[in-house]
Amino acid sequence: MNYEEIVAELDQVTKSSEKVAVKVFEKLESALSFTKDKESSDLILEVMNMIQEEDIFRQKIERVINSICEAQDIDVTQFNIAPTAKHISGDNYDEMSQEDIDNMFAANNK
């Protein structure tokens, strides 16, 4: 598998993940509007927060895609990923280091 194929596969994963997350989030918002008791409302809000955290992981994958494209001179515009996906303002999660990305490339070359 070459780098462009890896990027294309990661791109499909992020797009599918985003579509599913949006649908689930919409259903939860709908359920929340009908929920009267606090315990159920709290549970729905907790699940919604988990979906938002999953979205941060999707954005991290987009940053990896941007890094691979940059390192391998792949035209990132064919994947319709925002250039800002390299870094998300306010993201307090661990970022992939250049060493992590290099190790990922090395593992692919084996």
pLDDT in tens, 20-77: 999 999 999 999 999 889 999 999 999 999 998 888 888 888 888 888 888 889 888 8
**Residue 109 forms part of a structural domain:** no
Q: How many structural domains does the chain have?
A: 1
Residue 63 located in a structural domain? yes
Residue 13's domain comprises 3-104
pLDDT exceeds cutoff 60 at 85: no
Find, among 7, 26, 5, the residue nearest to 15 by Cα: 7
Does residue 98 contact residue 64 with C-beta atoms inside 8 Å? no
Residue 46 lies in a domain: yes
CA distance 25 to 50: 10
Do residues 105 and 2 lie in contact, with contact meaning Cβ atoms separated by under 8 Å? no
pLDDT tens-digit profile of 2-11? 889 998 999 9
- Residue 78: inside a domain: yes
Q: How far apart are the first and last CA of the chain?
A: 11
Residue 48 falls inside a structural domain: yes
3-state DSSP call for residue 94? Answer: coil
One-letter amino acid at 87 equals H
| 31 found inside a domain | yes
Whether 110 is in a domain gets the answer no
Asked whether the predicted pLDDT for residue 81 surpasses 90, the reply is no
Q: What pTM did the predictor assign?
A: 0.66
